[in-house]
Amino acid sequence: MRALSGAPCPPRDEVLPVQASLSRPAAATILAIALAAVGLGPAASPAAAATIPAGSGSYTDSRPAGTSGPTTNTGAPVTPKVTAAARNKPVPTNDWWSSLAYQRYGDNPYSTPMYGHPLTYQATSGGLEVGYPTTPAIVGEGRQYEYAHKADLTVGLSGLNSPDTKADDWSDWTVTPYWSDGTRTLRTTIGHGMPFVYAKGSGGDARITTAGTPTVFADNGNVLGVTVAGHHYALFAPTGSDWAVSGSTITAGLGGKDYFSLAVLPSTDALATYRKYAFSFVTGSKVAWESAGGTVRATYSLTTEAKEGSERGTIQALYRHQWLHTTDALTPYTYVSPRGTMKVRESASFTTSQRNQGVLPALPASSGVDKARLTGYLNEVANASDPFSGASDTYWTGKALGRLAQLVPVADQIGQPGIRDKLLGLMKGRLQEWFTAGGAAEFSYDKDWKTLTGYPASYGSDTELNDHHFHYSYYVYAAAVIAQYDQAWAADSAWGTMVKTLVRDTANPSRTDTAYPFLRGFDVYAGHSWASGHQGFAAGNNQESSSESVNLSAGLVLWGSATGDTGLRDLGSYLLTTESEAITQYWFDADQQVFPGSFGHDTVGMVWGSGGAYSTWWTANPEEIHGINVLPVTGGSLHLARAKAAVKRNIAEMERENGGPAVEWRDLLWQFESLADPAAAKAKWDAGNAGYTPEQGESKAHTYHWITTLDSLGAPDMTVSGDIPTSAVFAKNGVRTYSAHNHGSTARTVTFSDGATLSVPARSTATGTGTGGGPDPEEPGPSTGNTFRLKSGGTLTTATDGAAGADTLASADGVNRDGTPYKPTVYEVRKVDGKLSAGTSTTFRLRVDAGTKVGLAPQARVSYDLTGDGTFDRTETFRYFATDPVTGWEEYTQAAGTAAVTGSLGDLKGGTVRLEVWNALGNGTSQVQTGTDAAVVKIPYV
């Protein structure tokens, strides 16, 4: 049975692990809480209040009669499972480790599996299970891949038998579980990207219990190297201690100290490197972001304390969405994860830099839109007998608000102020109902969980703390559209405080706010949000509709821009830009480097801690599996155009699985396709726009405007960004159209990264071909040479400075991979302009080394995307190079000859050149040199 289009049926929590909590979709006593520096307005402690004023609005501190707050799976009320030290600290529910604090299942007072990557964890009575899953399983009739948690060992203390595990401390992406049985206490600090587990214990010896008898590969007293289930671990006890191995039990006295640690090693020869950081204990994690000049930069830092010696550094494993966008030095070490290869950095911090993914209030005006026809479609919505379609709960009310919000700037654009103002009135009226306590719909604050819940609730937003970022995204976005036209309505003294309170619940930028947690659902290190409030699944946490998460980020950009709150605007830019890359890689597998080769799908509907699933919470209909990560289509959806080839593959797979073009969600999927191929989408609209029923968050007015506008202007050009976040670029037949909205009270000039400028009047949108323009200064092409060096981190560059390094080529896993890239190491340069040089061809010089491994065969493929649209027009696969089993670099060049060539070359116009290198044969890893003149690709262009 399928739900109404647009949201899932209520989740069935007990289905594990394939499914997870869908997370969708009178007199008062006031205690004001100051929020200096974050601009989120006044807050109130609900300690003794019944109704809490918030500007013109209000909310309550007690739930409406007959409703529930967070419960266990049996319906019993539940409070946060934290230590006394953490009791007054807001819990960031909807995280990768939330089951430590939220006891969803009454018979499990410890945790469900938690996926930190590269390590996985599960709390038990005796301590912390630790695993490193490296082999994927395909389950659910081929619809899900997972690297499921399986314990290699358990970290504990001799005799530890704790009745529960509690969250004792946490920071941006680390957490410290706590065990106590009255005699012994144990704390461990774990986190994303951390190959170490840092332990502090009292009342017993350090005890490591392995899943099987370990193989010892190094024994240096207090430092022990063991191999368990094919994975290598290093154990570190205080200096002067000695590890003792007895069967599957390893113990060490702590000699009056209270600390020890362990690390999973990428290889046994990494022990010396990791040993340096064994006693540099991580004590916290923090991200700092900035958005300026069209670029979003983020720095991810760990704080440490030296338990021995003076070393304060550490080791971090970066996810693909991070190492693709850093120029910081990386080591040759790598790890396996459900998100593809993780690369290792020796440092306590790293920085990423990405183009700002722009947001527009609406697509710009274009000649392709028939204003009379569009006016007719607009009137159908504005004059409907019930514009909210009977919606009563937070989710479906939000969907209806979103549908109206998309049409306000469209009506304004075509000179229909009457329709615009009618739509604005409808939105204001409904928001004000929700923003006022005591009516049929209201928001209520839970002092235990420090969260704001809307009632009537839906999809577990109350009982499981699911989906607040999904539901409230529509309210924030709608409020931002209202603020664009009516700033007085959005003032803190009016309705702005209630909007900001919803923001505090879902995306609070403050770490010192005692009423709401920092970024409740957004996992800054994983790069995306999580939907389940309790994370109570064997597969970890999950997120289905990544696009509704982006809807909140886009709403923050627009709200912050409209109200002059640059802090919230820039937060929105950081969240959107970061999650955009995560969606591109982990939901759509745009580079085809993440999903296992045995997983037969090009996209997933849901990302899990353990992997991903080609499914939704409520239906197996391919249209909804593909469409759930598209809706709602807004001016914040343009980022999806950054990987056009992936969009085309996505649509093609949907039609294969569906047995033909979309029927139920055709409007969403037409709009999605138009981001990569506007003409194809327009043809489908022309053929099928009569007689269809819009998806419930959509309207014919919006779909018509979207498709015809992109058909006129071209698809979004994501290689160029403007210096304000409310800007975008479109390209058709080599011509770029620039658009920006200026929310400010004075005119301004917007400068784009290709040098073009656009004058934008105050409180207006401007569109044009721009003035100036030229090559992107951040991505030099062949104008500075046609020879590119390989740079660790996946880059081809014309720069000749930089240190020599090496990247690891993954094993072929004993299977013949000749001709087909398998877990390739990829290097790429974009925005390349060049004229094809007659009589020349691709050449390359690569230094490779298999060490002493026998029978390896590195192989290279060079691909050309001539226009940068995401489709590679030419691929050249070269014959593999058989390495010798002697340590030392060997040279592999184009002289090996081509094994296969497809497509044709032509001039490069903002094109992309990609080099893929992989092992075609053998059962071991090898290396390829980077950063030298012996690590180059020369393209046949001038």
**Which DSSP helix (H) or strand (E) runs through 231?**
strand 231-236
**pLDDT-based confidence at 188, cuts 50/70/90?**
very high
Cβ neighbours for 158, distance < 8 A, ≥ 6 positions apart: 204, 205, 206, 207, 251
Encoded tokens for 25: 């979709």
- Residue 715: closest CA among 780, 640, 623, 651: 640
Q: For 71-85, 111-125, 573-587, 925-939, which range has the lowest pLDDT when averaged over its residues?
A: 925-939
Mean pLDDT of 598-611: 97
Please report the pLDDT score of residue 895 as a whole number.
Answer: 83
Q: Alpha-carbon distance 480 to 487, whole Å?
A: 10
Mean pLDDT of 705-730: 96
339 has pLDDT over 70:
yes
Q: Which amino acid is at 732?
A: K
Q: Give me the residues paired with residue 435 across strands.
A: none
Q: Does residue 361 have a cis bond before it (omega within 30 degrees)?
A: no
- Residue 531: closest CA among 444, 455, 628: 628
785 has pLDDT over 80:
no
**pLDDT-based confidence at 28, cuts 50/70/90?**
very low
Q: Name the average pLDDT for the chain.
A: 91
Please report the pLDDT score of residue 35 as a whole number.
Answer: 34
pLDDT, tens digit, 9 for 90 and up, residues 195-216: 999 999 999 999 999 999 999 9
**pLDDT-based confidence at 314, cuts 50/70/90?**
very high
420-424 own/partner pairs: CB under 8 Å, 24+ apart: 420/485, 422/382, 423/381, 423/382, 424/481, 424/482, 424/485, 424/486
- Residue 21: closest CA among 512, 736, 530: 530
Please report the pLDDT score of residue 9 as a whole number.
Answer: 33
C-alpha Rg value of the chain to the nearest Å = 28
Please report the pLDDT score of residue 4 as a whole number.
Answer: 31
Q: Alpha-carbon distance 285 to 302, whole Å?
A: 4
Encoded tokens for 873: 């027009």
Q: Alpha-carbon distance 545 to 803, whole Å?
A: 42
Mean pLDDT of 156-165: 98
- Concatenating the DSSP letter of every residue in 850-893 gives -TT-SS--EEEEEEEESSSSS---EEEEEPP-PPPSSSS-EEEE
Alpha-helical regions (H) of 353-414: 371-382, 394-413
Please report the pLDDT score of residue 14 as a whole number.
Answer: 28
- Quick check: helix, strand or coil at residue 126? coil
pLDDT, tens digit, 9 for 90 and up, residues 538-559: 999 999 999 999 999 999 999 9
| DSSP 8-state code for residue 583 | I
Helices H / strands E in the chain, number of each: 14, 53
Cβ neighbours for 718, distance < 8 A, ≥ 6 positions apart: 355, 357, 638, 639, 641, 642, 729
Q: What is the 3-state secondary structure (H, E, C) of 523-580?
A: ECCCCEECCCCCCCCCCCCEECCHHHHHHHHHHHHHHHHHHCCHHHHHHHHHHHHHHH
User: Residue 889 in contact with residue 849, Cβ under 8 Å?
Assistant: yes
User: Residue 161 in contact with residue 170, Cβ under 8 Å?
Assistant: no
The predicted model scores a pTM of 0.81
780 has pLDDT over 70:
no
Given the residues 393, 446, 505, 548, the one annotated as active site: 548
pLDDT, tens digit, 9 for 90 and up, residues 850-901: 988 888 999 999 999 999 888 899 999 999 998 888 888 888 989 888 889 9
599 has pLDDT over 50:
yes
Q: Is 544 a catalytic residue?
A: yes
Provide the residue count of the chain: 942
Distances (CA, A) of 319 to 334, 485, 527, 590, 894: 10, 41, 9, 15, 32
Helix, strand, coil % over all residues of the chain, rounded to 5: 20, 30, 50
How many Å is the maximal CA-CA distance in the chain? 86
In the chain, the percentage of residues whose pLDDT exceeds 70 is 93
What b/e string do you get for 701-730 counting C-beta neighbours within 10 Å, with b at 16 or more? bbbbbbbbbbbbbbbbbbbbbbbbbbbbbb
Please report the pLDDT score of residue 804 as a whole number.
Answer: 80
Q: Alpha-carbon distance 633 to 704, whole Å?
A: 12
44 has pLDDT over 50:
no
Mean pLDDT of 99-108: 96
What sign does the dihedral 84-88-93-97 (CA atoms) show?
Answer: negative
**pLDDT-based confidence at 801, cuts 50/70/90?**
low
Mean pLDDT of 621-636: 97
Please report the pLDDT score of residue 712 as a whole number.
Answer: 97
pLDDT, tens digit, 9 for 90 and up, residues 642-686: 999 999 999 999 999 999 999 999 999 999 999 999 999 999 999
Given the residues 181, 446, 544, 695, the one annotated as active site: 544
42 has pLDDT over 80:
no
- Quick check: helix, strand or coil at residue 732? strand
Please report the pLDDT score of residue 934 as a whole number.
Answer: 81
Strand order in the sheet with 764-768: 715-716, 727-732, 735-742, 764-768
- Residue 535: closest CA among 122, 45, 252, 43: 122
Please report the pLDDT score of residue 39 as a whole number.
Answer: 41
Q: Is 467 a catalytic residue?
A: yes
- Concatenating the DSSP letter of every residue in 647-684 gives HHHHHHHHHHHHTSS-STTHHHHHHHHHTT-HHHHHHH
Given the residues 95, 467, 623, 754, the one annotated as active site: 467
- Higher pLDDT: 814 or 347? It is 347
- Residue 547: closest CA among 635, 609, 667: 635
pLDDT, tens digit, 9 for 90 and up, residues 508-542: 999 999 999 999 999 999 999 999 999 999 999 99
Strand order in the sheet with 611-613: 137-139, 144-146, 611-613, 606-608, 542-543
**pLDDT-based confidence at 458, cuts 50/70/90?**
very high
CA atoms within 13 A on the CB side of 142: 6
pLDDT, tens digit, 9 for 90 and up, residues 273-310: 999 999 999 999 999 999 999 999 999 999 999 999 99
